Structure 1
């Protein structure tokens, strides 16, 4: 068995960043009970090794983007190559190799995914089949509610880090982003902890203007922060894609129920042959089995269950990972 490369402080730091992704190192150090230098060194090590990365997410519903879930089947010898090609696209996230290495699952954002679905993938010889489902309603996950259900911090530490959230914009109306907003997004997607001074330089505006824009984007729900992290650091090395066929009268209730489960990182109602999709994780395959046979089995209205194990993540929200030659 491979030794765990992460320790308790690594996991506490991850949890702290889930609570407040842009908290200064000084504040993180006070909560974690270590020095500023220790937190800064630990964060730098985790980030440089690819184990942790803070990134910014835009809310698809607030920026006039449509969110799609793709399920691509490819010939075994080329699945890794196809997954890597999808990961290189700027409009994709959460590109995973699944189901014995012949299936790729990913999320695509954009106003028009037609060219990818109707031209690029069908013309790729190694692609056998493509299934696309449009996201209709997100119950949990993504820019609306980045994952922060579990972690190593005590409740009092979480309370110390939590800020009073701004009153949400109840209209939910789409927001038009200008050039400054887009530059801000692009830089924060690369480094969600980028200093204000660097953001101001990239956006070619003053630091106070950046602070004001950033506060406004967060307050209106257009922008939020998330963490790309090694599944072992998160304590959920066993991950899977769960698809449920649900009777229409139970769809909303089951979606909201799954949103509260610790195993669920993302759940949404979608179009397609199944009406509910969830990304789930546990400490072991046995944990996934217990989740299915207890939490899911106890949900009335579920008529079909499909579970696809994740073998490797090729791209998280924004972070790309190398695909070994032996994969695909």
Structure 2
């Protein structure tokens, strides 16, 4: 069905191809999906009408930012208001409500101790109706910058998109949820932070609004020539500083059970468990963190029974799992937003 109606098999295939690279031209998408370019364009516009966004995001490690996950417990009457206030902050990337509406999670990027302390030590502790705040530094991100689902859940039905399919692209491919293939915490990600100039910052701002903005559009916004803009894009992507993520409501794909998983893993097995979770189609995000739970993951499932089967069949057998806490997401207040202080 070309417009209106329910999603069919081609829609998730197109979404997966876009996750592999959000700026792939329609002509190349059409060849990979074995449909006409006109069909791809129509499907893309229909998905956009349903909320699809391609979002350009900074990769924190490469830009000298430290990524934090905040866990707040609030009174039930105030959680929504506090979540909305956090969502309006430019340094937050996603905010979700969970656990009966009394707990919320917030991810943010900070450049300095002063930025971190202003929120964690001064603002939040003085906020009425906030009962407790715990801050967890993300030491290593195994999969996902932020995303709503993992592309490989569709891999059996979708043709692969190879690295040579991307026009004007010299950087690494992105993974299932828009994360560069350079893993967070690797030697490349730990290198000297990339310095941004005014053109880079304009590109980040424009790609946050539309990750598929054309080269002429980006050139006009930056006041530079298209060739200059292309060089800046190539540099940002080659250096692993820019990721392109796909934002699409997983409920429209039949996944109604988004859940946060907090795991306590024996230190000797932390890397193994984190890297294993990153290969699971149900997991959109996984990171090693500081605090009592040393690994956090976000999973998307169709039903509570699927969540149970995942814990029983995939989490349970992993070595070193000492405890697990699950917190179903009630409402996503903010997701896939850029955070470039």
Q: TM-score, normalised by structure 2?
A: 0.85
Q: CA deviation at 1:118?
A: 1.6
Instruction: Count residues in correspondence.
Output: 314
1:125 counterpart (121, 124, 128): 128
Q: Distance in 1 between matches of 2:159 and 2:42?
A: 24
Q: 1:1-328 maps to which residues of 2 (within 5 A)?
A: 5-50=6-51, 52-111=52-111, 112-142=115-145, 147-151=150-154, 154=157, 156-159=159-162, 163=166, 166=171, 171-172=188-189, 173=191, 174-318=193-337
Q: Distance in 2 between matches of 1:84 and 1:6?
A: 31
Q: Deviations over 1:263-309 (max 9, x none)?
A: 11111111011111111111211111111112111122111111111
Q: CA deviation at 1:183?
A: 0.8
Task: Indicate if the aligned counterparts of 1:15 and 1:153 stay in contact, CA closer than 8 A.
Answer: no
Q: Distance in 2 between matches of 1:290 and 1:162?
A: 37
Structure 2: 5+ residue runs without aligned partners? 173-180
Q: Distance in 1 between matches of 2:328 and 2:29?
A: 35
Task: Indicate if the aligned counterparts of 2:68 and 2:135 stay in contact, CA closer than 8 A.
Answer: yes
Q: CA deviation at 1:38?
A: 3.4
Task: Indicate if the aligned counterparts of 1:31 and 1:161 stay in contact, CA closer than 8 A.
Answer: no
Structure 1: 5+ residue runs without aligned partners? 320-328
Q: Distance in 2 between matches of 1:33 and 1:125?
A: 56
Q: Distance in 1 between matches of 2:156 and 2:29?
A: 12
SS state at 1:149 partner:
helix
SS state at 2:244 partner:
strand
Q: Quickly say closer, same or farther: Cα 1:20–1:161, change in 2 above 3 A.
A: farther
Q: Distance in 2 between matches of 1:89 and 1:160?
A: 36
- CA RMSD, 1 decimal: 2.4
Task: Indicate if the aligned counterparts of 2:247 and 2:336 stay in contact, CA closer than 8 A.
Answer: yes
